Amino acid sequence: MKKFYKNLLIFLIPVFVVWGLTEVFYRTAENNFTFKNQRIISEYNQIETLVFGDSHAFFGINPEYFTSNTFNIANVSQSLYFDELLLQKHIDSLPNLRNVILNISYFTLSAVDNSSEDRWRRYFYQQQMDLNISSISVFDPNQYSLALVRRFDKSVELFGEYLQNGTIVSCYGNGFGMQDETNIVPDKEKISVLIAKKHEDHLFDFEVNKNRLQRMIDLCNKRGVEVFLIEMPVYKTYYSLLDTAKKEKINATLSQLEEQNKGVHYFDFSQEESFIDSDFRDADHLTNEGAEKFSIILNAILQKK
Amino acid sequence: MLFNTIDFAIFFPTVLLLYWTVFKKSLSVQNLFLVVVSYVFYAFWDWRFLSLIFLSTIVDYSVGLWLGKTNNLSKRKILLGISLFFNLGLLMTFKYFNFFVETFVDAFALFGTPLKVTSWNILLPVGISFYTFQTMSYTIDLYRRKIEPTHNIVAFFAFVSFFPQLVAGPIERASHLLPQFKVKRKFSYNESVDGLRLILGGLFKKMVIADNCALLVNNIFENYEVTSGSTLFFGAVFFAFQIYGDFSGYSDIAIGTARLMGFDLMKNFNYPYLSQNLSEFWRRWHISLSTWFRDYVYIPLGGSRVSKSRLIFNVFIVFIVSGLWHGANLTFVFWGFIHALFVIPVILFFKKETPFAKDKKLPTISQFLKIVTTFFIVVIAWVFFRSETLTMAFSYIGKIFSSSFFTMPQIPRSGIFLLFFYMVIEWIQRHRDHVLDIGYINNKWIRYTIYYLVVFAIFYYAGDLQPFIYFQF
Give residue-wise pLDDT tens across range B66-108.
999 988 999 999 999 999 999 999 888 877 776 667 766 766 6
- Residues of chain B with Cβ-Cβ distance to A1 below 8 Å are 20, 187, 189
Residue B163 and residue B200 share a domain: no
Residue B117 and residue B58 share a domain: yes
Contact B161, B32 (CB under 8 A): no
Residue B201 and residue B113 share a domain: no
Q: What is the largest CA-CA distance in chain A?
A: 76
Residue B141 and residue B64 share a domain: yes
pLDDT at B466 over 80: no
Q: What is the ipTM of this complex?
A: 0.77
Contact A232, A196 (CB under 8 A): no
Give me the mean pLDDT over the B290-310 stretch: 90
Judge whether B443 lies within some domain. Answer: yes
Task: Work out the percent of chain B whose per-residue pLDDT is above 90.
Answer: 68
Residue B260 and residue B171 share a domain: no
Active site residue B326: yes
Give me the mean pLDDT over the A38-49 stretch: 96
CA distance A167 to A210: 37
For B6, the closest of A14, A18, A141 (CB atoms) is A141
> With the CA atoms of B292, B297, B303 and B307 taken in that order, what torsion angle do they form, in degrees rounded to the nearest 10?
-160
Contact A239, A195 (CB under 8 A): no
CA distance A196 to A79: 18
pLDDT at B383 over 90: yes
* Domain end among B185, B213, B234: B185
The per-residue pLDDT for B325 is 86
CA distance B93 to B116: 19
pLDDT at B115 over 80: no
- Residues of chain A with Cβ-Cβ distance to B464 below 8 Å are 116, 151
Judge whether B161 lies within some domain. Answer: yes
Residue A119, chain B, CB below 8 Å: the answer is yes
Residue B420, chain A, CB below 8 Å: the answer is no
The per-residue pLDDT for B358 is 79
The per-residue pLDDT for B114 is 67
The catalytic residue among B151, B286, B326, B431 is B326
Q: Provide the pLDDT confidence category of residue B467 given band limits of 50, 70 and 90.
A: low
Residue B141 and residue B164 share a domain: yes
Residue B150 and residue B229 share a domain: no
**Upstream peptide bond of A63 is cis (omega within 30 degrees of 0):** no
Residue B6, chain A, CB below 8 Å: the answer is yes
Contact A94, A50 (CB under 8 A): yes
Burial of A67 (0-12, 13-18, 19+ CB in 10 A): exposed
**Contact across the interface for A4 and B193, Cβ inside 8 Å:** yes
Residue B75 and residue B213 share a domain: no
What domains can be seen in chain A, in order of their start residue?
2-304 (3.40.50.1110)
Nearest Cα residue in chain B from A7: B193
Contact B297, B321 (CB under 8 A): yes
Residue B201 and residue B74 share a domain: no
CA distance A83 to A64: 21
Return the higher-pLDDT residue of B50 and B110. B50
Nearest Cα residue in chain B from A19: B459
Domain range spanning residue B397?
190-276+354-472
The per-residue pLDDT for B196 is 96
**Contact across the interface for A153 and B452, Cβ inside 8 Å:** no
Q: pLDDT tens, A257-290?
A: 999 999 999 999 999 999 999 999 999 999 999 9
Judge whether B414 lies within some domain. Answer: yes
Residue B7, chain A, CB below 8 Å: the answer is yes
Residue B62 and residue B180 share a domain: yes
Give me the mean pLDDT over the B289-306 stretch: 90
Judge whether B60 lies within some domain. Answer: yes
Judge whether B335 lies within some domain. Answer: no
pLDDT at B215 over 70: yes
The per-residue pLDDT for B128 is 86
Q: How many A×B Cβ pairs under 8 Å?
A: 34
Nearest Cα residue in chain A from B261: A1
* Domain end among B169, B185, B201: B185
The per-residue pLDDT for B351 is 67
Query: If we measure between CA atoms, which residue out of A6, A283, A32, A276 comes closest to residue A172?
Result: A32
The per-residue pLDDT for B133 is 92
The per-residue pLDDT for B234 is 95
* Domain end among B162, B185, B208: B185
**Contact across the interface for A153 and B222, Cβ inside 8 Å:** no
**Contact across the interface for B464 and A116, Cβ inside 8 Å:** yes
Residue B175 and residue B195 share a domain: no
The per-residue pLDDT for A16 is 94
Residue B268 and residue B122 share a domain: no
pTM of the entire predicted model: 0.86
Give me the mean pLDDT over the B179-190 stretch: 93
- Substitution target in B2, B4, B6 with the highest count of A β-carbons within 10 Å is B6
Judge whether B337 lies within some domain. Answer: no
**Contact across the interface for B459 and A152, Cβ inside 8 Å:** yes
Judge whether B339 lies within some domain. Answer: no
Give me the mean pLDDT over the A74-101 stretch: 96
Q: For chain B, how many structural domains are there in total?
A: 2
pLDDT at A298 over 70: yes
pLDDT at B176 over 80: yes
Q: pLDDT tens, A127-182?
A: 999 999 988 888 888 888 999 888 899 999 999 999 999 999 999 999 999 998 88
Give me the mean pLDDT over the B230-253 stretch: 95
**Across chain B, what does the average pLDDT equal?**
89
Return the higher-pLDDT residue of B96 and B335. B335
- Residues of chain B with Cβ-Cβ distance to A4 below 8 Å are 187, 189, 192-193
Judge whether B206 lies within some domain. Answer: yes
Q: pLDDT tens, B395-448?
A: 999 999 998 888 888 888 888 998 999 999 999 999 999 999 999 999 999 999
| Residue A150: count of CB within 10 angstroms of its CB | 18
